[in-house]
A and B are shown apart, each in its own frame.
Chain A
C-alpha cells in the first residue's frame, strides 16, 4: 500500500542522499544531545556489541539537513565514556562535601533506602517544604513533566525550579507579555533564509547555534540584510551589514531607539497596530525621548548605525527579529525581549511567513522543558499553579485533590537563598550543574555545602555532585526515548540507541521507584515505560496553551516533527503562529509595551571600571560537564580566557596569553588574556563553561529580573589586576 507522504516539503538545502552503512552496523535516527537546534543525527550502533560507535549525518532532517557543530559530531562519545557513573554512590563522611572524595559504590536498594529515610526524617522535623527539586531542561518532555509531578505529588514540596531560570525564562516572560503565549519562535527555521532582513540581538549564533548559519548567510547571498547587536564582533557580527556594538546591558535603550525611528520615519503598519495590538500610544510617547543621539549616548553605538539599522528593518518587506541570552540574561531581560518584539509589532512584521520573532533556545529542551511544570509556578500545558481551574485539570490527571497541590515555590537562584536560610534543608538535583552555572558562586557553593542532605542524579560526577551525599547514575540521551521541543516549537523524537550503561537508569524510572519507596507508589507505579509517561504527559497538557495532546509519536515520525499547539489526532500542528493575527491575550490582541530604560544593576565606577560580560564558545555546552570530557572539544578549548581590547590591555600593561586576576565585588579568578580588537574597549568577556576556581560565575552578579527571576550574567562591573612574575611559557 502506498503511504501518503505527510512530511513537510523540503527546502532548497535538502539533498537526497543515502547514508553510508557499514557491515555489522545499524543507524538509529535521533537528534543531538545539546542545544535547542536539536540537529538531526544518526547514531551508529555496532550490532554485535550493541554499543554506540559513532555518528552519521541525518541528511533528511528538514531543519539541519545533516549539518552538525563539533559538539554534535562528538556527542556520541558521552555514552560509553570512562567517566560514566555506573553504580549509585554514597558518601558517609559529610565533611568531604565540596570535593569529589569519599564516595563508595552502593546498590540501588541501599541508595533508595537512605534517600527515603533521610527525606522522611527531614520532612518529619521541618515540614514538607524542607525538600527541594532543582532540575534542568536538557532532557525529554516526559522527564521534565514527571519531575514536576515527582516534586509535587511524591515529595509534596512547593520548592521546585529549574535551570531555565538561567537560560530561557526572560524570553518566556517577554513573549507571554507581548503575545500572551510563549512559543520561542513564531515561525519555522526553514523560513529564516527566505526573509529579507535578520535583526539578531545578543546572539553569538555562529558559536552557540552554528547550524543556523547556512540559513543566515543565505539571506545575505540573496541580497538581504543582516543586522547584529552585540558588544563583541562575533563571527556572525563580523559579516553583518550593520554591527550595533552596544555596551553590555543597554539593549532596552537600543530597542526603544529603533522603535522610535520606525515610528518617526513612517514604518508603522497602522492597520495592524489598530486592529491587533494594544499599547501603541503609550509606547510612542515613551520612546519619543530615545532619539538617535540619546540612544547613542546610553548604548555607545554610533548614531549613523542606529539610523541605518532602523531604516533597513523598516524598509524590509519581510524581517525576523531574533535574540538570545545576550539580551535575556539581564535584570531587565523580560523588558529587552518585549522591547525588541515591539519592532515587529509596530511594523506588523509578524503573523505571516518569513516574518516574525524568535529566540535561540539554549538548552536542548529549553522550550518543552519550561512548559510542563518544572517551573515553580507552572503545571503541565503551561498551566498556572495559581489558577484554581488549571490546578483542578491537572489534579484529575494526577489523582490528587486540589488541596494537596503545593503552593508556588521560588525561582532557581532564590532556592539557594532559602537553603542558606535553612528553609530548605534537602535537595534532589538532576540534569543541572548549578555549582558552575549559577551566578555568585561563592554564595551558591556555601548554600549547597550547608544542606542537611543532597541527592544528585547525573551520568558524570559534576562539580555540583561534589556537594551530594548520594549520587544516582542516570542515562545519557542516547539510552532512553522520548520527545523534545526544539527552538522552533517543533516536537521531535529522541530514540534509544543503546541499553543503559552499567546500572544506570533513566530519570523517570528513578523517580517512579523512589516514589514507591516514599509511599506514593499509587500515583507512579503505572508508569513502566517512557511511552507510558508520554501518554500521561500528553493528557496532562491537553487543553493548556502548550497543548501536546495531538503530538503522538507516530505523527512526529510521519511529519518530521509536530509544532505545538497540536490539540487532537487530526490537528497537524502549528508551524506559523498568529497567521490569523489572533494573539493569546483575552482580547486577541498583542501588547506593544512601553518600557522605561533601566541601566544594569551594577554600573562601572572608579574601583571597578570595566564591564564584564559572559557567554559561550562553540566547543562547549552549558556548564561543560559533558563537553569538557570529550577530547576533541577539550583540545580545542581547554580553559577559559578573558578577552581584552588591545588599548585596554595597554592601559593595564598586560599582554596576550599572560595570566591576570579578574575580580568583582563578589569574587575573583585568574584567566589567560586573549587580546582582540573584536570587543569593546570598556568590556571584557569570559566564557562560562568551566568549574571550580576557573568559574566566571564566581564573579557574576545575582541581580534578578523582577518577572523572570533571571540573573544578570551579561553585565557587571569588574577590574583587572596584573599578576607579577607569572608569564606562561
Chain B
C-alpha cells in the first residue's frame, strides 16, 4: 500500500463546509465534526479556508498530555483522546499551535481529528478529502505532492507557495493561497 497524505490547497476553498458535514459521517466520529472552516475576511470577500489537524510528527497536543491519552498511530495520525485515559485537563487545546482539539464539557473529554483512522489505516481517503468538491482537500502520494510543489513554486524567489511545513514537521502538507501565480497561461 503506497502511503498517502492529506494535502491542502487553500486557494481552492469555496466555503461549502462539506468537509465538516462529512466529518460527522465517519464511523468513529459520533456525529461530531472535528475541524474548522474560516471566513478569512467576511466583510470584504468570500475567501474561506479550512483549518484541519496537520497531524504533527512531534505533536504538541500529545506532548502536553499528562495522561498519555493522545496516541500516535503507526500511519502518523495523531488520534483523538482515549476515553479511558483523558482527564479533561484541556492542556492539549492550549498546546496545539493551530487550536485543533475540541472539548466536550459534558463528557469531560477532548476530541479531535483522527484522520478517519478506520478508513486511512486501510488506505481509504478520509471523509473530508473524499467529498471535498473543490479539491481543497486531497489524498495524495508523496510523488503527487512533490509534483504539485514543483508546479506551483515560482523560481523567481519572490513567491513560494508550497512550504514544507508551517511550524514543526507535519504529516499533512499545506499549499498556501497563491498557487495560480506560478501557472503559465495557455495563450
Contact = CB atoms under 8 A, between A and B. Distances in A.
B46 interface: yes
A80 interface: no
A587 interface: no
Contacts of A218: 135
Given A206-B134, A221-B183, A315-B187, A632 B14 contact: no
Interface in B12-51: 12, 14-18, 20-22, 24-25, 27, 42-48
Interface string B88-118: 0000000000000000000000000000001
Given A17-B124, A206-B14, A316-B187, A678 B134 contact: no
A141 to B, nearest CB: 26
Interface in A61-112: 66-70, 72-74
Given A217-B12, A223-B186, A235-B15, A57 B42 contact: no
Interface string A639-677: 000000010000000001000000000000000000111
A621 to B, nearest CB: 13
Contacts, number: 131
Contacts of B130: 57, 59, 66-67
A656 B46 contact: no
B125 A217 contact: no
B184 interface: yes
A238 B47 contact: yes
A129 interface: no
Interface stretch (A207-215, A360-368, A524-532): A207-215
Tell me if B's interface is mostly helix, strand, loop or mixed: loop
A632 B21 contact: yes
A72 B22 CA distance: 9
A510 interface: no
Nearest to A222: B186
Interface string A3-20: 000000000000101111
B132 interface: yes
B146 to A, nearest CB: 16
Interface residues of A, number: 54
B158 to A, nearest CB: 19
B14 A66 contact: no
A233 B11 CA distance: 16
B76 interface: no
A73 B186 contact: no
B25 A54 contact: yes
A122 interface: no
A148 interface: no
Contacts of A69: 16, 18, 131, 133
A381 to B, nearest CB: 34
Interface in A34-73: 54-57, 59, 66-70, 72-73
B25 A55 contact: yes
Given A66-B130, A210-B14, A225 B185 contact: yes
A214 B133 contact: yes
Nearest to A17: B124
B24 A224 contact: no
Contact of A68 (B24, B45, B133, B179): B133
A501 to B, nearest CB: 21
A19 B132 CA distance: 17
Contacts of B150: none
A142 interface: no
A196 B43 contact: no
A189 to B, nearest CB: 13
Most buried by B among A68, A72, A234: A68
Interface in B31-79: 42-48
A213 B14 contact: yes
B134 A214 contact: yes
B12 to A, nearest CB: 5
Contacts of B184: 223
B169 to A, nearest CB: 26
Nearest to A66: B130
Contact of A210 (B11, B18, B20, B187): B18
Nearest to A224: B186
A234 B17 contact: no
A20 B29 CA distance: 15
B133 A213 contact: yes
B180 interface: yes
B48 to A, nearest CB: 7
Nearest to B4: A15
Contact of B45 (A66, A636, A678): A678
B119 interface: yes
B4 to A, nearest CB: 10
A646 B18 contact: no
A206 B48 CA distance: 12
A125 interface: no
B46 A70 contact: no
A236 interface: yes
B150 to A, nearest CB: 13
Contacts of B45: 233, 238, 676-678
A22 interface: yes
Nearest to B42: A676
Nearest to B135: A214
A618 interface: yes
A220 B135 CA distance: 13
Given A73-B22, A223-B186, A68 B14 contact: no
B11 to A, nearest CB: 7
Contact of A66 (B118, B131, B185): B131
Contacts of B186: 196, 222-225
Contacts of A222: 183, 186
Contact of B187 (A57, A196, A221, A656): A196
Interface string A22-41: 10000000000000000000
Contacts of B180: 220-221, 239
Contacts of B187: 196, 315-317
Interface in A419-434: none
B148 to A, nearest CB: 10
Interface in A165-219: 196, 206-207, 210-214, 217-218
Contacts of A214: 12, 132-135
Nearest to B151: A221
Nearest to B187: A315
Contact of B14 (A56, A57, A72, A236): A236
Nearest to A196: B186
B175 to A, nearest CB: 11
A210 B44 CA distance: 22
Interface string A618-631: 11000000000000
Nearest to B138: A214
Nearest to A241: B185
B184 to A, nearest CB: 5
Interface in A486-508: none
A67 B47 contact: no
Contacts of A17: 124-125
A678 B44 contact: yes
Contacts of A677: 43-45
B157 to A, nearest CB: 22
Contacts of B122: 18, 20
Contact of B124 (A20, A236, A675): A20
A222 B151 CA distance: 10
Most buried by B among A73, A211, A238, A316: A73
A338 B76 CA distance: 55
B86 to A, nearest CB: 25
Given A68-B133, A73-B21, 17 more contacts: A67-B18, A67-B131, A69-B18, A72-B18, A206-B16, A214-B133, A214-B134, A220-B180, A220-B183, A222-B183, A225-B185, A235-B46, A236-B14, A238-B45, A238-B47, A317-B187, A678-B45
CB-based closest 6 A-B pairs: A206-B14, A210-B133, A70-B21, A73-B21, A223-B186, A214-B135
18 contacts: A20-B27, A20-B119, A67-B130, A67-B133, A68-B131, A69-B16, A69-B133, A72-B131, A73-B131, A217-B135, A221-B179, A224-B185, A234-B46, A235-B15, A238-B47, A618-B14, A676-B43, A678-B44
